[in-house]
Amino acid sequence: MKQQVRITIDSTNGDQQLLQHAEGDLYLKNGHIYIRYEEIQEELGRTTTLLKFSDNQFRIIRQGETGSEQTFLPGEWTEGWYHTAQGRLDMRIRTHSLQMRLDENGLGDAKWNYDLYVAGDHAGRFKIKLSIKKMNDNQEG
């Protein structure tokens, strides 16, 4: 079963904050929750983003003009990558916390914070809040 959802992503890195809104499709498969949506950014082009929620981990997979893969697992180091027309950069992620409050339909919210290292250099400590709602709920945003 697929349902349309509205997602809000609130990302903080130091004193920089970015708020994003998107609409996408949520579906449940093999005990996992998936959300697929399109991102269009002037500097990055068109990207399809897939969010995958498992029992104790969360993955972000982006495909398109740029691509990346990140896995968040609380208390663990994980490997990832970021790919642009200029080439590929390896990433390491140290997830400090991950809290997912999603109902049986995949709706709810998730919060996590992590340190990101790109090509061996510390790129920042990020705090993310993700909200997932049905399209017909809270249309005002």
Residues 58-104: tens digit of each pLDDT: 999 999 888 999 999 999 999 999 998 889 999 999 999 999 999 98
Does the pLDDT value for residue 46 go beyond 70? yes
CA distance 110 to 70: 15
- The phi, psi pair for 18, rounded to 5°, reads -130, 125
0.85 exceeded by pTM: yes
**Cβ–Cβ < 8 Å for 43, 52:** no
Does the pLDDT value for residue 51 go beyond 80? yes
